[in-house]
Amino acid sequence: MVMSLIAGTGLAGGCAPGDFADGCAGDAGPPAAASEGSGRPERIAINRDSFAARHIGRTADGRQFFLTTPFDPGTYGTDTSREFVALYLFAQDGKFLEAKIDDVGSRERLDSAEVKRVYQARLAELGKVKFGRIEVEPFAVERFGLAFGLIAEAPTSEDDMWWVTAEPGNYMAFSAPWDCGVYDT
């Protein structure tokens, strides 16, 4: 498993107070639920950044959201890769509510203008938002024959640990402490 390899290299996530300018507690107040220890998390924190977590925050009615671009790399040597735009919505307390996922086509023949149009439309449908840190539960939904979401993965060996990965594409990987808000790529 790729996550096991990352953990073995010392590149795995997690943080300790003082590792980052704003520390692990972030700017959202109390730590995420079940952030103690390294078991399956009830909630994970995601700090806003300029990369994969650029469009996260809260809507005017207090719901939390995560707008992202998961992908299916497909099979090597084939034209089976796909790109998606996904808007995940959560209640104020971080409970998963809904996933709105658009299949925008093959990565090899991708029209970036179309991805941008769909992405901007999903962002606009949220109305007035406040970007910032979110604390949400791991979840998985099935669409287009793939598992989407922030998927909790149990350890597969004694040397492994719990991970929560953004899927498909495994493009964000979170590990304890769950209130840290940072991820590996």
pLDDT digits (tens, 9 = 90+) for 48-79: 999 999 999 999 999 999 999 999 988 776 67
Is residue 171 a contact partner of residue 51, using CB atoms and an 8 Å limit?
no
Q: Does a structural domain hold residue 181?
A: no
DSSP string for 108-156: TT--HHHHHHHHHHHHHHT-SEEE--EEE--EEEEETTEEEEEEEE--S
pLDDT value, residue 110 = 66
Predicted confidence (pLDDT) per residue in 1-41, tens digit: 333 333 333 333 444 333 333 445 444 444 444 444 568 99
Q: Does a structural domain hold residue 180?
A: no
Domain count, the chain: 1
Count of CB atoms situated within 10 Å of the CB of 44: 27
- Lowest-confidence pick of 89-103, 107-121, 166-180: 107-121
Partnered with residue 164 across adjacent β-strands are: 152, 174
Q: Does a structural domain hold residue 15?
A: yes
Q: Does a structural domain hold residue 183?
A: no
Containing structural domain, residue 105 = 2-174
Q: Does a structural domain hold residue 182?
A: no
Q: Does a structural domain hold residue 97?
A: yes
Answer whether residue 146 shows pLDDT above 90: yes
What is the DSSP code (8-state) at residue 176?
Answer: S
Q: Does a structural domain hold residue 34?
A: yes
pLDDT value, residue 12 = 39
State the pLDDT confidence band at 138, using cuts at 50, 70 and 90: very high
